[in-house]
Structure 1
């Protein structure tokens, strides 16, 4: 009888429940910073800090063939906001040479602060418009600011410059790098409220590029009616759940969320089947072009896979825009439906990771075209739906969410995120 697989998990949320429900043995994280860390696991769900210390440090850890890690070493090329903008701009320049730059025209105009502040200031002087300022390594809406004219831009610059001058280390200064992104002032509204879409893409390899997209996902709604008259209201203009939970209008039962199947049905009923199909095919194109923009930049470690969380906004002309990409999308179950969705795509994700690694060398032609809610969209080249299908993207189509209604590790209480485990780092000499 084979030995049960083992795992180590640096965060307590749905992924830990999935590992336990599969019968995997837990390898505990060290409780103290100076405590020796066990490497006797088959799967690790690691923090970005662990990846940086163990896979990009002076003495990278040597992994056994059977070990699997949930991040590629430098996936920040895609998920750090300033680097994402840089890589998309580079891809746009390359495609311009062959007249196809429009295929990458899905990211709002973006400047990196402070490096491109002069260009940004010149832009806002000539064309007053709303801008959203985001810390490059921020999450959950933290540190986001709004500006819409020259005076507000200068005030933002003066405030951040003062903070930069007070920094004692280069790392502290790095945290004050921002992306300044043109705000989309005309979002598609449902019930008078703004929303964005959270979708999931599983990358099994970058060389060759192999990508599954999960057809399920959810819309995150603002709890307050949309208006540009109070630009700067976080509850109106930011859809992050971490922001919305502070609103007096937030409904904890529904979590201000709507599944993507409901969204696709809504668009089809209101605008027609073809329009709906085009919207979600365009969103799939956004996901793939963003991954292609970094395929040659990301270190393709054979032990690694990654689940990216994509945030997409649809404008009122039905044009989708890429807002950001998350390397560590929230896996907390805010509601029972939310928990079941995340349990389902995480459980199926681990199945696909094991399928991909079952044979060495890998025969990628044997990978399933569809598995649970996942659809293979790129396997060293595009994978198209069957010819007889009228669907050109499965995103938002009916998704089999099995969840885990009988999972003994599930509780009715809200899950709390524990402080991620940060490993020891070696002093540079």
Structure 2
């Protein structure tokens, strides 16, 4: 689906090439990431395995639970990482029993998953993540289901997170029976399409609006739950967004540290994530896992519809720019074709080297303890580096398609307490939202006037920005 989408946009898809603009594939090694050219963009932030590896994800979640309490992070089932937690888990088995689900830390597509009720059923010779099984899931027509949601991170410093308004609802192919005698029926307990499409009972769906077969669109599920089960969908959606934001923040410090030490430019990376969430019988959402490279294959007609639009929308937000290394003749041809000049990537827009003035401002505002300390003054005088970050921020807002920006917004300041430490750019955007969220035109006009003076470009000697420039 990715190849088809970029080909329609005029790009050439190649399997092996050194001179490429964008890549979609597994994570590169940190050594290879450091060699990226300034015009190249990959689909993984270094360190993002902290979210997708189930053992890393749980360790990050446990850190947050220990620091902020279970009430703030009450969306993950009790989890143990083996072999390090083997003694504790065995004691719980012997004392309380229950049903558990064991997964390989880096597994996907339902491979290597076991639903168990006895300690002797857990494999002992390989690393595992063992979670309390959600044994009372919300059912539709007696069948278990989960939701595949899509979140997009375009930057980790500042943190910019979007969630897609559409998604996929994946149904099992056997009716759910809450009995240990049926724990071995993968078609009953696993909702992965890769598992259930091998069942003779699997039925595809070919419409966003039809509630049929073993896959629905997310909005069809919302319609069903609202009309048939009286669910409060806006409230449920807010809880889902809360899960996405908190989950990403749990790993933010490690991702920022790795990305800052390896990426040559902030242009070089983005991350599309697949969040798998299940609803229990009380309609509480639970995070099952996060996929760092969600499948974009058109497994079913409905997959093709949802993923086709998803690919178009997230690639538009990410924004691939034409390299500044193309021949001058090609550049002239493209400028004439698209009636735009300049057309090629200007690396100055992604400059990460700070002047002494910019360093001084960042030190001053990142060390303030209270929000009021920076809300009052951080926007009084914007540095060229500030303007570059704000331009990117507002540019992305014009390309949302089916995405919704969920962090930062004017109402997300409360999430700042979950970060490992304050970060200047997060505070800058928080203040920008507070000042301009209700009047975006005024904020954009301020940036436009600065851009006309080329104030945002390194080496510019334009006058300092002040609110009087508005």
TM-score category by the smaller chain? 0.7 to 0.9
Match of 2:250 among 282, 293, 298: 293
Aligned to 1:42: 21
Count of aligned pairs: 334
Aligned to 2:106: 137
Match of 1:362 among 357, 381, 389: 389
Deviation at 1:253, TM superposition (A): 5.1
Deviation at 1:131, TM superposition (A): 0.4
CA distance in 2, matches of 1:60, 1:280: 36
CA distance in 2, matches of 1:127, 1:69: 46
Aligned to 2:41: 68
Aligned to 1:282: 239
Aligned to 1:117: 86
CA distance in 1, matches of 2:173, 2:271: 31
C-alpha distance after superposition, 1:264-320 (max 9, x if no partner): 1122223446x2222111111101100010111103342110000000000010100
CA distance in 1, matches of 2:165, 2:399: 10
Deviation at 1:380, TM superposition (A): 7.8
CA distance in 1, matches of 2:128, 2:22: 34
CA distance in 2, matches of 1:225, 1:60: 46
Which consecutive segments of 4 or more residues in structure 1 shift more than 6 A?
355-358
The range that moved more, 322-331 or 362-371, is 362-371
Q: Which has the higher contact order (CA 8 A, sep 6+)?
A: 1
Aligned to 2:161: 211
Deviation at 1:19, TM superposition (A): 1.3
Q: TM-score, normalised to structure 1's length? A: 0.74
Deviation at 1:103, TM superposition (A): 1.9
CA distance in 1, matches of 2:229, 2:236: 11
Match of 1:321 among 276, 286, 289: 286
Aligned to 2:378: none
Aligned to 1:345: 310
C-alpha distance after superposition, 1:320-372 (max 9, x if no partner): 00000001111111222211211111111111111899843332244317721
Unaligned runs of 5+ in 1: 1-13, 30-37, 162-175, 387-429
The range that moved more, 17-26 or 303-312, is 17-26
Aligned to 1:147: 116
Aligned to 1:234: 186
C-alpha distance after superposition, 1:175-224 (max 9, x if no partner): x3110011000000011100000000000011111011000001100111
Give the helix-richer structure, 1 or 2: 2
Unaligned runs of 5+ in 2: 207-212, 322-344, 351-387, 414-432, 434-470
Alignment of 1:196-275 (within 5 A): 196-229=146-179, 230-252=182-204, 256-272=214-230, 275=232
Q: Which has the larger radius of gyration?
A: 2
Deviation at 1:102, TM superposition (A): 1.1
Is this contact kept in 1: 2:21–2:320, CA < 8 A? no
CA distance in 1, matches of 2:234, 2:128: 35
Is this contact kept in 1: 2:204–2:215, CA < 8 A? no
1:104 aligns to what SS in structure 2? Answer: coil
Q: What is the root-mean-square deviation of aligned Cα atoms in Å? A: 2.2
C-alpha distance after superposition, 1:22-57 (max 9, x if no partner): 11022332xxxxxxxx32111011223xx12xxx24
CA distance in 1, matches of 2:408, 2:101: 36
Aligned to 1:310: 275
Is this contact kept in 1: 2:44–2:270, CA < 8 A? yes
Match of 1:377 among 402, 406, 428: 406
Match of 1:108 among 55, 59, 77: 77
Please tell me whether residue 189 in structure 1 is matched to residue 139 in structure 2: yes
